[in-house]
Amino acid sequence: MTSSTLHNQDLVDVMAELERHQFDHRAAFAFEMAQRGRVHPLNEDELKHFRKEKDGVFGPSPWDTPNLSTELPFTFSSLPSPASVENAIKNDIGGENHFRFAPSRGSPDDDATAIMHLLDNIQTPTYSEPGAVIHMQSPTFNRAWRWMPGWESEGMLGQSDFLLTVAPTGEVFELEYHDHHFSTTLLIGSKVWLTFPPLQANLDVLRKAYGEMHAANTSRVALGILAELQHGIFIIQKPGQTLLFPPFWSHMIFNTATSVSCGFFIATAAQYVYRIRNMDLLLSLNLFWDSAEEQQNHLENCAAELATHFSTIMTGNFKRFKVANVQNAICREWVNTAQKKETDFENMKEKIGGLLGLIDDEEEREKIDEMFRVVWIEFVQLKRKKKPECRLCHVRIEHMPAGETPDDRLARHVTDVHCNFWALI
C-alpha cells in the first residue's frame, strides 16, 4: 500500500480513537481539538491547499509533512508476529541494552515488577497500568536493519540504532521535538499522533513552553500551549505502518491500545545548519533528563556528533548530494553578526561555544574543540590555494600575524579568531 492511499484519514476517525481515553485530560483536550476542526487530519486532499514552494505552511511535497506508509525499514518482508516481538523484547531488555522506564514506581524493585507486567501484557490491547519502556536498544531488530538508498540525496551522515518503545493503552507521551529525520514503525497496537510543523511561530511557542516548564519544575506541557501551536496534523497509526517525520517537527503520542514501536533517527547534511540554528530547543529538552549524569552524557554525545558530522561535511564528497551549498552556508553562519534589533543573536561559532561550555568534562570538551579547529584549518588551507585569504572572513594572508609559511599564518588566524571557543565559555 502506497503512502498516498494512507493519507486519506479524517477527524471523525481520530475522535473515535480518542473517545474512550478521555479520562486523561490531555486526550480529552486533543479530542476537543479534533471535534472543533482546529487541527488537520492526515488527508492529502486537505493538506495540498497549504503546500507551496515559498511562503507555504508546508513544503510542496508530501515528504515535507509526516509520511505514513507500509514500507518496512527491515530485512524481513512482513511484520513479525506479536509473539515474536514479545520474545525479542524479553530477550533483549536489560544488561548493556539501555532503556528508560517512566514514570518510575519509586524503587528499582517496583520498576522491575512493573516492567515485567507490561511485557507480559504486550499482546493485551487493553492493558492500562501506567509506565512505559522507552527507547530500548534491541540487537534483535538492529540485525534486521535495511539500507534506504533514498537518503543519499539528502547527504546521509548517519543512522541511530533501532530504539523500541512499549507503552500501555492510555499512555500519553508529552510534546517532544526532534532535530533529525525520525522513522517509527508500529509493530503492535494503535497510536494517534498530534504533530506540529516547524513554523517560526510554533518554534517560538515551544521556547516559551519549555521556559515555563523549567520554571515550574515539570515535564508536562500546559494544554494552553497546544492551542497556540498552528497547523497541527492528527495521524492514526496501525500495525505494519511506518511514519516518517521531517526534521524539527514536534509531536505528542496517544497510545490507544497497548503498543510496541521501533524507531530510529537519521542525520543528513541538508539539515545540519538548521540543527545549529535551533540548538536552544535541543538544550532546553536536555534539562528534562532525570539526572545531571544523564544530562552530561547527552550533551557530550550531541557535541561529539555535531563535530563528527561537521568534519564529514567540510571534508567529504557525497554521491548524490551537492555538499558545497552546505559548506558555504556553514561559512556564512559561523561568522554572521547580529542585525539591528537582534539582541539575542548568536552565530554558529557562538552556539557551538555555548554547547561546549555546558560540558563539565574538560578532557572531553577539549577533544571536541580540537575536532572543529583541525577541520577548519584544513578547510581554509585548501581554499587559500585559489585565493590567498581566509575563506571565513576574507582577511588576506599578508595581513595576518607573521608565520613561517602561509599555512602557518592561516592556522594561527583560525585558532585565534574563528575557533577561540574558550573566550565564549
Sorted by where each begins, the domain ranges of the chain are 3-268, 292-423
Instruction: Answer yes or no: are the C-beta atoms of 85 and 30 closer than 8 Å.
Output: no
pLDDT digits (tens, 9 = 90+) for 322-357: 999 999 999 999 998 876 565 667 899 999 999 999
Q: Which amino acid is at 135?
A: H
Main-chain phi, psi angles of 111, to 5 degrees: -65, -45
For residue 2, the model assigns a pLDDT of: 47
For residue 342, the model assigns a pLDDT of: 59
Strands (E), 20-119: 40-41, 67-69, 100-102
Q: Distance (Å, rounded) from C-alpha 89 to C-alpha 81?
A: 13
**Out of 141-155, 226-240, 343-357, 406-420, least confident range:** 141-155
Alpha-carbon Rg for the chain, nearest whole angstrom, is: 23
Domain 3-268 sits in CATH at: 2.60.120.650
pLDDT digits (tens, 9 = 90+) for 50-90: 998 888 899 888 889 999 999 888 888 889 999 999 999 99
How large a percentage of the chain has pLDDT more than 70?
A: 96
Collect all residues with Cβ–Cβ distance below 8 Å to 3 and sequence separation of at least 6: 62, 67, 68, 69
| Averaged pLDDT of the chain | 91
Query: What pTM, to 2 d.p., does this model score?
Result: 0.90
Collect all residues with Cβ–Cβ distance below 8 Å to 73 and sequence separation of at least 6: 145, 146, 148, 183, 185, 242, 264
**pLDDT exceeds cutoff 70 at 256:** yes
Beta partners for residue 195, in sequence order: 233, 251
DSSP 3-state assignment of 424?
coil
Instruction: Answer yes or no: are the C-beta atoms of 233 and 66 closer than 8 Å.
Output: yes
For residue 77, the model assigns a pLDDT of: 81
- Alpha carbon distances (Å) from 277 to 105, 200, 223, 273: 38, 12, 27, 6
**pLDDT exceeds cutoff 70 at 235:** yes
Q: Which DSSP state fits 418? A: I
